[in-house]
Amino acid sequence: MIGIVAEDPKRSLSMKAVVPALVLMTALVACTSTETDAVRRLRNQKSVALFSVNGVTNDPEGLTSTFFVCANKSPEPVTIGVEIFNGPSRKPLNQASDTAITVMPDESGSILTDDANDVIADAKLKVGPLSGASARILATRPDQISCRVYIINTDTTMPSGVLEVKGPNELSSTQAQ
């Protein structure tokens, strides 16, 4: 334990409590900024959080997966990735860069949480079972990108629901921000 010895015993005791707390706070801030920097890169390119989605589900042995479809209306190719968050942790379950896709101008790309019968996707996240999770959609260009997110029935490949896509700061306080 780090402490500062002073002539006044009351001051010495309070400083012994304050200094370790400051060291701990500094360590937490350093960890947080490192995670944020890592999250903001897709295939060694700087990226931004475009959209957030609540209600992400994935039942690899059951009936549902979440299907992310993004369109690129910009004149340049864009790299798009999806991070999945489950529970109160602010750390993603996956590395978005590992399954990021490149979407050419005037084309769409798709990312699926897991295998689904006859569903063709550009990437599959393989994040395991999820219920009520959240996702963050990242892209290397913030403009002219639109995304839709569907819950699909893996037996029929038909959409069984559409999830609301929000701006990056609109997730609930218990999910990643």
> Of the ranges 7-11, 64-68, 92-96, 133-137, which one carries the lowest mean pLDDT score?
7-11
Output the pLDDT for position 5. 38
Output the pLDDT for position 62. 66
CB 102 within 8 A of CB 110: no
* 111 against 1, higher pLDDT: 111
pLDDT bucket at 87, cuts 50 / 70 / 90: confident
Across-strand partners of 111? 68, 123
CB 137 within 8 A of CB 19: no
Mean pLDDT value across residues 57-68? 84
Output the pLDDT for position 154. 72
Positive or negative, the Cα torsion across 121, 36, 147, 141?
A: negative
pTM as predicted:
0.70
Q: Is 123's pLDDT higher than 90?
A: yes
Give the single-character DSSP code of 74: S
DSSP notation for 1-23: ------SSHHHHHHHHHHHHHHH
Q: Is 2's pLDDT higher than 80?
A: no
Query: 128: which residues sit within 8 A by CB, 6+ positions away?
Result: 58, 60, 93, 114
CATH dotted code for 43-166: 2.60.290
Name residue, tokens 């209306």.
73
* 73 against 177, higher pLDDT: 73
Give the single-character DSSP code of 27: H
Output the pLDDT for position 137. 95
| pLDDT tens digits, one per residue of 135-175 | 999 999 888 999 999 988 877 666 777 887 887 545 433 33
CB 134 within 8 A of CB 53: yes
Here the tokens at position 116 are 């689904």
Residue 106, classified by CB atoms within 10 Å of its CB into exposed (0-12), middle (13-18) or buried (19+), is exposed
Residue of 177, 166, 161 whose CA lies nearest to 67: 161
What value does the mean pLDDT of the chain take? 74
Across-strand partners of 148? 69
